[in-house]
Chain A
Amino acid sequence: MYEGIVEDTQKAAIADLGIDKGVEALTPEKIETVITSFLESETGARFKTYADICVHCGLCSDACHYFLSNDRNPKFSPAGKVKQTIGEILKHKGKVSPKFIGQTAEIAFTECNVCKRCAMYCPFGIDVAYLMLTMRRLCHKLGVVPQYIQDTAHSHSATFNQMWVKEDEWIDSLQWQEDEARGDISNLRIPLEKEGSDIMYSVIGPEPKFRAQLIYQAAVIMETAGMNWTMPATPGWDNSDMCMYTGDSEMMGRLKRSHFETAARLKVKRIVMGECGHAFRSVYDMGNRWVGWKMPPIPVIHAIEFYDELFQKGKIKVTHKFEEPVTIHDPCNIVRGRGLHEKIRNVVHRTCSSLIEMYPNREHNYCCAAGGGVINCGPPFKAKRVEGDRVKADQLREAKSKGAKVVVAPCHNCHGGLEDIIHHYKLDMKLKFLGDIIYEVMEKTT
């Protein structure tokens, strides 16, 4: 039975209720049974080919911000993480100890943002993000998942949103934002349950809970642009999905079904979603696939694409440009995940007076280290996360030295991650969503 890495000063295990309790409940026999049936029923050609052909060349290392930020510690390289997790499991045919499973869970959940950057660096296109998600799925099956993200997955299952927002609280916060927004536009409305609208606007759980002003801003943008839109007053309003990241695919499918069927019930032609990255991944190529929809059954337009369209069609105009120089943080899930990088720049050029690029950027961006559910694993892993993205801090510092004062990050998780990075590395930069900037500079009808 493989016991895992015995001594490792660089990587002392972090206490986490979810992992620790999960490990406690495991026995070597149970592990072996679960792994055997998992490998038999849930891994196929991709898993096998990736495991078979990786030539151990290490060329993927330079792709990973964890590797680069941890002084090129090979344990943080993409293939290094595969070696320590799936590699050992295959080598020992599932005869591994509970403690080892705890270690793999920590690697799979908190040392990889499943950002897919390495898939662009491996000559064979080996998708380590896919392998790490497969590893997480196994951890889910073994009941070893970090507490905070597991709690979020529970919230999804009980409320169909990420934040334990109750059915009435959701509606109440929309009505409250509507009242607030009437300060700007006296006849502004957040139309609830308006069947037959063109657009259903969907957000992630934290918006009504912590960032309600984003809903207000979106409403002002929608109204100013004269959109025929609606928001649901039922569960299904939340497009986010931490179950995708805990490996609870069944719940992931359930969440996406609820989201798309809400849109279908409202008879909208498309869903416009707020500035979120992981939710886009979930609706675009993860959750929908589990359900059996090859592509989203109702098109999902990410806010960036929507703003770009509004500007192109002249539906919104600016009164002035945002003064302070900005830099752009490209969110993985909509850049490598949807190629929206040029659209971000289109919108920034329309709304900001000066843009200072960070490099590498566009598809080659470094992740914020919050994505892939890592930030959702909570405080125990915060230090590791922030230290695991020193390269991002270096990038930001460089942009700042060239004059950038504001970081435009059109993704919720990126906001969370960058906020911590900015704070930890004392960068003193401001963070904004594109919606914040548009709201600030746009011509509003009164």
Chain B
Amino acid sequence: MKNWNWEVGKRLVADVGKWKESWVWVEEPYASPDGEKIAAIVRTEDEMFNICVNGQAYENSFDKIWHLRFSPDNRLTAIVSDGEWTLAIDGETWENRFDFVWNTQFAKDGIAISVQSERKYFAAVNDTVWENGFSHIGDMTLSHDGQRAASVVQTVPLKEGEIVKFQQGCFSVAVNGEVWDRNFVNVWNPAFSHDNKRVAAEVRLNLYDYTIVVDGKAWDKTFSTVWAPQFSPADASVTAPVRIGGKWFLARDGEILWDKPFDQVWHHQYSPDGKNIAAIVCPQFGQWTVAINGIAWKHTFGDLVTDLVISPDGTRAACVGKDNGKWFVCVDGIVWGGQFDMAWQPVFSPDSRRVAAKVEKDGKYVILTDGVPLIEPVQALWTPTFSPDSSSILVRMIEDGKYYRRVC
């Protein structure tokens, strides 16, 4: 980010609207995080697919391309097929080829995909495929360093209708292809520890008892259900929302941490130092808000709270709320003025002082910083990014069909 161009000003990068003249089909464009590139999947006259980056297509086209996404470090990935499927990065395909590819995941400079070959399922990280394949893969996730993948896998073959066998446990977790030595009825949402060595997941031990498993070892308490676990960045502990007697609590290593009951607790998140935990909560049926360390904000939303984010210094939090069909941005429990047709996850500046968010109103998009519009409404926008010194904001936008990179 430091070496991105942070000079204030607006620069035309590509006239995306014109692309339609060159290709029979242009899909929705994606902008690179640094704003320097804009790309879209296009189809050529000969029914082949290609990717157009800043107006220029790659030399090679493919039979089929989907899921175009920029990695955080500005590499352009796409799932491509030339008879066999693989991942293409900046137009170069991986060596490995598969029968099917999906679910691209990014972390640091690592890239992972879920793949299927000859009805066997694997994860592939940075063009290295797991040695062992499975008959099912789900919830594949990449470690924080981008080097390892964990996934829910099926370890015992199961035919439809085999309910007894299913309830004996046919699923487990594979970390880099290595399976835990215990099976469960269900496993969901594996998550890596911050040192990337350990993995926790939610499991169902039988049809009724849910708990959290860390590296294959279950907590000694069970709950009527649980949600996804998280490792603390500070110590080795694991927390997860758990349900007891119809109410939700946050539990740490099996013990109740937030003792005030909520009607819902989920999407809990640690501050980078691990000292604070924020979560989306429902203090009362049909009322949603955010709780920090178990204390709920006073303001609640009737429809939905989503896109919770905690500031880099861990002292602030922001979210998107929805009430009566309208969307709002809420920071530290205070709702920004203005209601929107849609709002995107707010972004904190590196110094945690400022917040910016993309919102939509009447079919146009605006960036708000601390609740105030930063630019005039435009045709399309991407999530804004603060400069490392928090002073400027990178705006990636389309106006009259033209894509601009702008620093304000």
Q: Which residue of B lies closest to A18 (CB)?
A: B163
A21–B264 touching, CB < 8 Å? no
Residues of A225-268 whose CB lies within 8 A of B: 233-235, 248, 250, 253-254, 257, 260-261, 264, 267
Contact A267 B100 (CB under 8 A): no
Q: For the complex, give the distance between the alpha carbons of A256 and B66 in Å.
A: 27
- Give A150 to B161 CA distance when docked, in angstroms: 8
- Is A175 engaged at the interface, CB distance under 8 Å to the other chain? yes
Assess the B100–A171 pair: CB atoms within 8 A: yes
For B210, give the chain A residue with the smallest CB separation.
Answer: A250
Q: Name the one of A140, A154, A253, A260 contacting B166, with C-beta atoms under 8 angstroms.
A: A154
**Of the residues A154, A164, A189, A191, contact of B163 by C-beta under 8 Å:** A154
Note all chain A residues with C-beta closer than 8 A to B114.
167-168
Cβ of A292 under 8 Å from chain B: yes
Chain B residues within 8 Å of A18, by CB: 163
Judge whether A293 and B304 touch: CB under 8 Å: yes
Provide the residues of chain B in CB contact with A254, threshold 8 Å.
225
A141 near B208 with CB under 8 A, answer: yes
Q: In whole Å, how far is B358's beta carbon from the nearest beta carbon of chain A? A: 10
Answer whether A41 and B164 are a contact pair too, CB < 8 Å, given A187-B24, A267-B344, A295-B303.
no
- A147 adjacent to chain B (CB < 8 Å): yes
Say yes or no: is B204 at the interface (Cβ < 8 Å to chain A).
Answer: yes
Question: What A residues does B163 contact at CB under 8 A?
Answer: 17-18, 21, 147, 150-151, 154
**B67 touching A294 by the CB < 8 A rule?**
no
Q: Which of A192-200, A334-342, A399-407 contacts B (4 or more CB under 8 A)?
A: A192-200
**A residues in contact with B154, CB < 8 Å:** 158
* Cross-chain contact B102 with A167 (CB below 8 angstroms): yes
What is the minimal beta-carbon distance from B14 to any residue of chain A, in angstroms? 19
B253-261, B282-290, B370-378: which lies at the interface? B282-290
Chain A proximity mask over B245-270: 1 for CB below 8 Å, otherwise 0 = 11000000000000000011010000
B242 → chain A closest CB, angstroms: 12
Chain A residues with CB under 8 A of B360 = 196
Chain A residue nearest to B380 (CB atoms) is A196
* Interface size counted on chain A using CB atoms at 8 A: 51
Q: State A196–B327 Cα separation when bound (angstroms).
A: 14
Contact B263 A292 (CB under 8 A): yes
Contact A41 B103 (CB under 8 A): no
| Residue pair A299, B224 in contact (C-beta under 8 Å) | no
**Hey, which chain B residues are within 8 Å of A250, CB to CB?**
210, 224-225, 243
Residue of A nearest to B285 (CB): A292
**Docked complex: A150-177 residues within 8 A CB-CB of B:** 150-151, 154-155, 157-159, 164, 166-168, 171-172, 175
Given contacts A41-B246, A151-B163, A194-B28, contact A168 B288 (CB under 8 A): no
Distance, CA A299 to CA B24, complexed state (A): 34
Contact B246 A294 (CB under 8 A): no
Residue in contact with B136 in the complex, picked from A158, A187, A264, CB distance below 8 Å: A158
A297 to chain B, nearest CB (A): 4
Residue B160, interface by CB 8 Å = yes
Closest Cβ–Cβ distance, residue B105 to chain A (whole Å): 12
Q: How far is the CA of A294 from the CA of B160 in the complex (A)?
A: 35
Over the window 263-293 of chain A, the binary record of Cβ atoms lying under 8 Å from chain B Cβ atoms (1 yes, 0 no) is: 0100101000000000000000000000111
Q: In the complex, A141→B224 CA distance in Å?
A: 11
B245 CB to nearest A CB, Å: 7
Say what secondary structure dominates the interface of chain A. helix
Determine how close the nearest CB of chain B comes to the CB of A16; give it in whole angstroms.
Answer: 11
Is the CB–CB distance between B245 and A158 below 8 Å? Answer: no
Which residues in window 164-179 of B have CB below 8 A to A?
164, 166-167, 171
Q: How far is the CB of B247 from chain A (nearest CB, A)?
A: 11
State A192–B162 Cα separation when bound (angstroms). Answer: 33
Q: When the two chains form the complex, which single residue of A159, A164, A168, A193 contacts B100, counting CB atoms closer than 8 Å? A: A168
Contact B286–A294 (Cβ < 8 Å): yes
Output the residue of A21, A159, A167, A295 with the most chain B CB within 10 A. Answer: A167
How many chain B residues sit at the interface, stated as a range, is: 35 or more
- Bound together, the chains give a CA A446 to CA B5 distance in angstroms of 45
Q: A294: which B residues are within 8 A, CB to CB? A: 285-286, 302
Indicate if B143 sits at the interface (CB-CB under 8 A): no
Given A193-B67, A233-B102, A267-B342, the answer on whether A166 and B161 have CB atoms closer than 8 Å is: no
CB distance from A24 to the nearest CB of B (A): 11
- A143's nearest neighbour on chain B, judged by CB, is B207
Once bound together, how far apart are the Cα atoms of A198 and B307, in whole Å?
18
Which A residue's beta carbon lies closest to that of B322?
A297
Q: Determine the distance from Cα of A298 to Cα of B164 in the docked complex, in whole angstroms.
A: 37
A322 within 8 A of B: no
- Does B32 belong to the interface (CB within 8 Å)? no
How would residues 329 to 354 of chain B score, 1 for a CB under 8 Å from any chain A CB and 0 otherwise?
00000000000011010000000000
Measured CB to CB, the nearest residue on chain A to B116 is A168
B282 nearest CB neighbor, chain A only: A292
Per the bound structure, the CA–CA distance linking A169 and B97 in Å amounts to: 17
Q: How far is the CA of A106 from the CA of B150 in the complex (A)?
A: 41
Nearest CB on B from A208, distance (A): 14
A1-36 at interface with B (beta carbon < 8 Å): 17-18, 21
Q: Which residues of B contact A67 (CB under 8 A)?
A: none
Cα A189 to Cα B41 in complex, Å, equals 12
In Å, the complex CA distance between A157 and B225 comes to 13
Chain B 125-138 interface 0/1 with A at a Cβ cutoff of 8 Å (1 = within): 00000000000111
Chain B proximity of A193: nearest CB distance (Å): 7
Chain B CB within 10 A, most for which of A18, A41, A158, A299: A158
Residue of A nearest to B307 (CB): A264
User: Once the chains bind, are A167 and B67 in contact (CB under 8 Å)?
Assistant: no
For B311-339 the 0/1 string (1 means CB < 8 A from A) is 00000000000100100000000000000
Contact with A along B275-295 (1 / 0, CB 8 A): 000000010011010000000
Interface residue? A100 (CB, 8 A): no
Indicate if A148 sits at the interface (CB-CB under 8 A). Answer: yes
Q: Which residue of B lies closest to A195 (CB)?
A: B28
Which residues on the A side are within 8 Å of B263 (C-beta)? 292
Name the contact of A253 in the complex, choosing from B102, B225, B286, B303 (C-beta under 8 A). B225
Q: Give chain B nearest CB distance to A163 CB in angstroms.
A: 9
Q: How distant is the Cα of A2 from the Cα of B263 in the complex, in angstroms?
A: 38
CB distance from A381 to the nearest CB of B (A): 15
* Complex partner residue of A292 from B137, B288, B306, CB under 8 angstroms: B288
Contacts of A192 in B (CB 8 A): 66-67
How many Å lie between the Cα of A155 and that of B266 in the bound state? 24
Question: Please, which residues of chain A bring their CB within 8 A of the CB of B121?
Answer: 166, 168
Min CB distance B357 to A, Å, is 12
Interface centre among B102, B154, B171, B246 (most CB of A within 10 A): B102
Ordered by A's residue number, 27 sampled pairs between the chains whose C-beta atoms are within 8 Å are: A17-B163, A18-B163, A41-B245, A143-B207, A147-B163, A150-B163, A151-B161, A151-B166, A154-B167, A159-B136, A166-B116, A166-B121, A167-B102, A167-B114, A168-B121, A194-B28, A233-B67, A233-B103, A248-B207, A260-B304, A291-B264, A292-B282, A292-B285, A294-B302, A295-B303, A297-B304, A298-B304
Closest 8 CB pairs of A and B: A294-B286, A297-B304, A292-B282, A292-B264, A250-B225, A168-B100, A292-B263, A154-B166
